[in-house]
Structure 1
Amino acid sequence: MTAAEPCPQTHEVAPMGIGWRHPHHAELLQRQPALDFIEVHSENFFAPGGAARAVLRQGREHYPVSLHGVGLSLGSACGIDNAHLDQLASLVVEIEPVRVSDHACFARGGLSSQPAQTVHASDLLPTPFTRAALDAMCANVQRVQDRLRRPIAVENLSAYVRWKDNELGEPEFLNGLAKRTGCQLLVDVNNIYVNALNDRLHGSAIDPLVQCRQWLDAIHPPAVAELHLAGHVDCGDIVIDDHGSRVVPEVWALYRHALACFGAVPTLIEWDTDVPDLQVLLDEAATAREHAGHTLDTVTA
């Protein structure tokens, strides 16, 4: 989107959700707070039957469920793991989620010493923003969508290394992925800010907030299906996206900018480490509602 293009206008209310983690399983089912959806990590519920799947079915009785994965390895040059995709497809059929998402990253690859052997890094590793990497990710995303018979949403990554041979900017890469595959984008606002802070620590002269607003302005609005908000930790020489604290004022400001650009997009509060009382997440979701209400009212005025 260029500076001359107006942001979309809407009178809708942005749906709000929280990440539903194990410490809050029982309390959320008991209290049933006013939320528009809940999100879980897909892989935690892959096992058929059992207590975990039963709890998820109970949650699905009260809320739409968004399935958010960390293991598809959409950017892997060695393709998608068949077993992983089969388990995800089975979960999707049973739960009928409102959205399915994963990350623009890779986690699987071959060993240089044993090219035929594929290993899993158990981490979200940044994909190079090259045309060849885009081709590989498009092929993988298309295969997943064909198997699930639905579009998926792909999330931008908090990355702690950069590839020297990048040919595209991250927004251009993600826009190209959405255009070629019909996938959606999950924009993690905190990840954008963490990357900008780390760029500043390593010599970037661009103000982090300016850099993030430029990033958001460059994303094609119709592709955006969900926004994520979370906390991070500044370790001095690096900033880590740890999902272990409240959303900071700068990320709230960027959230308002994202809403002005993308409209009433479903928004999730993520909290994965040092998980606090459920009420803290609900308070963060209420704060997000306030920001969204004010921003969208201003945009449509």
Structure 2
Amino acid sequence: MGRLGTGIGWRPEIAEAVERMPGIDWVEVVAENVCPGHLPESLGRLRERGVTVVPHGVSLGLGGAQRPDADQLTALAERAQALGSPLVTEHIAFVRAGGALTASPLLEAGHLLPVPRTRDALDVLCENVRIAQDALPVPLAVENIAALFAWPDEELTEGQFLYELAERTGVRLLIDVANLHTNHVNRGEDPAEALAGLPLEAVAYVHVAGGVERDGVWHDSHAHPVPDAVLGILADLAARAAPPGVLLERDENFPEPAELERELAAIRKVVEGGRRREVEARPGSPVRTDPGDTEGARQRLGVAQAAVLSSLVARTPVPEGFDRVRLGVQARALAAKRADVVAKVAPELPVLLGASYREAFLEYARARPMRGGYRRDALDFAGFLLDGKRTDLPRRELREWWLDRSGPAPRGRVARAARRVLPGRVRSAPPVHA
């Protein structure tokens, strides 16, 4: 794979602006939000100009105890082929837990959650990555994620974990320097130490993004300007080895195009100012050979992940050794994420409920774990309201909306009515970036 250059995350809200931006060598698109047979015209025009498009998956859950879903892998492969992409990317995270491995209900997080840096988790992740690599027509790169909480009794540092993963599987790495900053604030981890432990020759490209600090916790929002601290980590990485590509991510609160162009210019300046130097000997532990049979590791990891996810979304007791306050922060963040995304995939609901939407959804989320994706979540939310006793809700309109989407044939009456009441507020769902 050749050099990518400077890129930006493609989103429908800024599609026209991206097409006009100077110096854009490539874009990244959330894989789950494009259909191979009906690609957005903007992406087609970018491809015709020679702009590379990379699909970025968010739902595989390669760090989960289950093996990757074959249908999801097929869908990711189809998107890579439709876009003519040189690689595809995913995350080192788990997004669901429970099910057959644990004899407990399968739970969905609706967001990326950190895996424990243990030998069991590494063995499972390596096998899952190989399964994905075998199913994909192009190379795979995996991304380090931001974390609001830490697992107790971890056996490896982030640098050691990523180093062994790359050595054992040959997978490429997508290094998110904003996530390194997040883990510095939230977990006290030194970004320079993490970079020193990485196999920099395995880096496919780099993510840069903004966030916000609330009550001493850094939230990787992708909705704020890139802070100087994140650019500083990028400078450290670029000084060790020039990255093949760097990409700016922005998913919410889109600024004027000129501001995005200024951020891209700052990123280019940092990368161009980096000078190569010899990387010091990495402190990584010796790479262990694969254990062969990972079923025991999958079972242990599955039980641990199910306990954590259940405490986050089903209000079961916090597992021993975890920081209760941080898990509370994560639980609230997951519920808020659900509320935000459901408002996007079902924009009629906030229109119908008005100012009471968020309060009503958070009440629902406290009682009902997610059980099948965000569109299913929207239907379950409406059903929850209809089964309740609240008198301040537009029950007739909600029932019409629910029937319109859960019946055998859509009728569209509520969506049309909502457009008449609040024109411009109801629109098709924008991308979901977990």
The TM-score by the shorter chain falls in which range? 0.7 to 0.9
Which residue of 81, 89, 107 corresponds with 2:69?
81
Q: What is the rounded CA distance, in whole Å, between the counterparts of 1:160 and 1:39 in structure 2?
A: 25
Question: Residues 186 and 13 from structure 1, CA distance in 2 versus in 1: closer, same or farther, beyond 3 angstroms?
Answer: closer
Q: Which of 7, 12, 35 lines up with 1:17 in the alignment? A: 7
| Structure exhibiting the larger radius of gyration computed from Cα positions | 2
* Corresponding residue to 1:107 among 78, 81, 95: 95
1:174-189 correspondence runs (5 A): 174-189=162-177
Q: Structure 2 residue aligned with 1:278, among 246, 250, 257?
A: 257
| Alpha-carbon shift at residue 61 of structure 1 (Å) | 2.0
CA distance in 2, matches of 1:141, 1:172: 17
Unaligned runs of 5+ in 1: 1-11, 201-207
Q: In structure 1, which of residues 154, 160, 181 is the aligned counterpart of residue 142 of structure 2?
A: 154
Cα distance in 2 for partners of 1:114, 1:219 equals: 34
Cα deviation, residue 117, structure 1 = 5.5
SS of 1:228's equivalent in the other structure is strand
The answer for unaligned runs of 5 or more in structure 2 is 279-434
Q: Which residue of 1 aligns with 2:346?
A: none
Structure-1 residue corresponding to 2:79: 91
User: Cα deviation per residue 1:164-217 (whole Å; 9 max; x = unaligned)?
Assistant: 1311111111111111111011111111111111134xxxxxxx7xx1111111
Q: Offset of 1:13 from its aligned partner?
A: 8.7
For residue 48 of structure 2, what is the amino acid of its counterpart? Answer: E
Q: Normalised by the size of structure 2, how large is the TM-score?
A: 0.60
CA contact (8 A) 1:75 1:127 kept: yes
Give the corresponding residue for 1:36: 25
**Greater fraction strand:** 1
Separation in structure 1 between the aligned mates of residue 101 and residue 61 of structure 2, nearest angstrom: 21
Count residues with an aligned counterpart: 276
Secondary structure, counterpart of 1:168 in structure 2? coil
Shift of 1:230: 0.8
**Contact 1:19–1:39 (CA<8 Å) still a contact in 2?**
yes
Where 2:274 maps in the other structure, the secondary structure is helix
TM-score using structure 1 length = 0.85
Does structure 2 retain, via aligned residues, the 8 Å contact 1:228–1:269?
A: yes
Identity of aligned residues (%): 35
Residues 1:145 and 2:144 aligned together: no
In 1: Cα distance, 2:73 partner to 2:269 partner: 38
Per-residue deviation, residues 118-167 of structure 1 (Å, max 9, x unmatched): 44321101111111111111111111111113321111110111111311
Shift of residue 16, structure 1, vs aligned partner: 0.7
Decide which of 179, 195, 198 is 1:219's aligned counterpart: 198
Deviates more, 1:243-252 or 1:57-66: 57-66
